[in-house]
Amino acid sequence: MKVLLLGATGQLGWELTRTCPADIEIHTCDHPKVDFTSTLSIRNCVNRDRFDYIINAAGYTAVDKAEAEKGLARQINAEAVELLAGLCKNNNIKLVHISTDFVFKGTHYKPYLPDDITEPQSVYGRTKLAGEKAVRRILGKDAFIIRTAWLYSVHGHNFVKTMIRLMDEKDQLTVVDDQVGTPTWAKGLANVIWASIATCQQGINHWTDAGSASWYDFAVAIQEEALALGLLSKEIPIIPINTDDYPTPAKRPYYSILDKRYFLKKTGIRPVHWRKQLRKMLKELVGEII
Ligand SMILES: NC(=O)c1ccc[n+]([C@@H]2O[C@H](COP(=O)([O-])OP(=O)(O)OC[C@H]3O[C@@H](n4cnc5c(N)ncnc54)[C@H](OP(=O)(O)O)[C@@H]3O)[C@@H](O)[C@H]2O)c1
């Protein structure tokens, strides 16, 4: 089976590359060789070979910057995705498209089901939702979308690596305590994507690691685990604060736990608790630093 992976240089794309099963022939087309702002480059990339699947792990992911770069975020997260879906339809290619918990308002206080009402609060969320809608409109029942949340990996920029750097540099940290989600190791998600391809999944699906946490809880866990692994040498106070005390250009969901029950039922895959996954990722990070 031939799979074209878009966004291979990102966190998830990198994990997909290194977890790719032996029986899959993976092709990557990296940015800027493929540029989602250029129709021609997307067409050239897709027409390069006869692919069975395209995994779209590319995206405009700078949530705050997107508020000032609406047009670019829309081109990458919505218009390019619409074009990709059309190319997949015309060439009989299956598309796996990655989306986000930011399509929800986040005031629900119970886990979001895939068909719950979407109400994005940010440019990023709105453009990702527009991408989802294009995929569903064009591919119908063949659309395969996975919404996920709070991704991190040893590769790329993310909360875990930023926290470890700040914990090393600073004497204390303040972290938001009133936004709750599920930290998710991109490597775990990559394995789930490969398993989904092997079992031909369809529809809108939710996947994160198990459990939930606030950013503050996540930061506390990162410090504890990093100290235990020798990634940090001193403990610093971490102080919980409210979102109002840490204003950002983009509004984020207060509560964006994704309900995975239907996907678990369909696939039989069991999520691992986020804290266990965090420990595994940090062990990999130790290996990278040594
Ligand atoms: N990160 C999260 O917490 C999170 C949460 C929920 C959902 N998601 C979704 O999961 C997917 C993967 O996220 P991630 O964290 O792996 O993202 P990431 O690390 O930011 O990687 C994004 C990828 O998109 C590529 N890209 C950016 N602009 C492009 C353009 N104009 N043309 C072509 N490619 C372009 C990047 O290439 P360059 O590196 O060369 O720019 C990179 O390979 C995205 O769809 C994202 O919306 C992420």
Mean pLDDT of 176-198: 97
> What pTM, to 2 d.p., does this model score?
0.96
For the cut 90, the answer to whether the pLDDT of residue 83 exceeds it is: yes
| The pLDDT of residue 139 is above 70 | yes
171 Cα–ligand 1 center, Å: 32
Residue 217 lies in a domain: no
Whether the predicted pLDDT of 154 surpasses 80: yes
**Ligand 1 atom having least distance to the Cα of 128:** 47
pLDDT reported for residue 289: 66
Whether residue 278 is contained in a domain is answered as no
Residue 88 within a domain: yes
Helices (H), 206-258: 215-228
User: Which of 164-168, 221-225, 244-248 comes out lowest in average pLDDT?
Assistant: 244-248
pLDDT at 290 over 80: no
Kindly report the average pLDDT of the chain as a whole number. 96
Q: What pLDDT, in 10s, does the model give residues 234-282? A: 999 999 999 999 999 999 999 999 999 999 999 999 999 999 999 999 9
Residue 50 forms part of a structural domain: yes
- CATH of residue 38's domain is 3.40.50.720
pLDDT at position 107: 92
Consecutive H or E run containing 40: helix 39-46
Classify the phi-psi angles of 150: left when phi > 0, otherwise alpha if psi is within -120 to 50, otherwise beta. left
In a domain, 6, yes or no: yes
Count of domains for the chain:
1
Note whether residue 105 is domain-resident.
Answer: yes
User: Which ligand 1 atom is nearest residue 98's CA?
Assistant: 45
Q: Do residues 136 and 145 lie in contact, with contact meaning Cβ atoms separated by under 8 Å?
A: yes
Beta strands in the chain (DSSP E): 2-6, 25-29, 53-56, 94-100, 144-148, 151-152, 173-176, 180-181, 184-185, 203-206, 213-214, 238-241
Residues in the ligand 1 pocket, defined by CB under 6 Å: 7, 9-13, 31, 34-37, 57-61, 76, 98, 100, 128, 148-151, 156
Half-sphere CA count of 167, side-chain side, radius 13 A: 26
Amino acid at 154: V
Range of the structural domain that residue 263 is part of: 2-156+184-209+256-271
Q: Is 236 contained in some domain?
A: no
Contacts of 178 (CB under 8 A, 6+ apart): 214, 242, 243, 254
Q: 56-65, 222-231, 280-289: lowest mean pLDDT where?
A: 280-289
* Phi, psi angles (nearest 5°) of residue 247: -65, 135
Domain-embedded: residue 279: no
Tokens of 43: 């067409």
Active-site choice (124, 152, 216, 254): 124
